[in-house]
Amino acid sequence: MNRYKKTEIKLDKDGKRVYGTTYYPNIPIENTDKFVVTTLDNRLDSLANQYYGDVSLWWVIAKANGIKGKTVLKAGQIIRIPGEIPKILEEFDDLNGR
């Protein structure tokens, strides 16, 4: 899933391409969530690939854990892996007019 696939693209005053706002759903804790302890060099994209089979869903794990601005995780962190992916993606699409 490319989360920018249908994001509106605009031109700024200098003619440079900029993306419109992308809205992310809240991701409440569910019974289907898993909690994992990270190991050395775990990354959000590698966890997304391991649990969802799709590296582009790294943002789901980041949003669920309040992680901003980094993709590499420290060893020993407890990370929540949301289990309700279809529900999360449906809400993402609804928020972004898809």
Per-residue pLDDT reduced to its tens digit, 44-91: 999 999 999 999 999 999 999 999 988 899 999 999 999 999 999 999
What are the start-end ranges of the H helices in the chain?
44-52, 58-65, 85-95
pLDDT in tens, 10-52: 778 888 888 778 889 999 999 999 999 999 889 999 999 999 9
Instruction: Please give the Cα distance from 74 to 38 (Å, whole number).
Output: 7
pTM beyond cutoff 0.75: yes
Give the rounded percent of residues in the chain with a pLDDT score beyond 70. 92
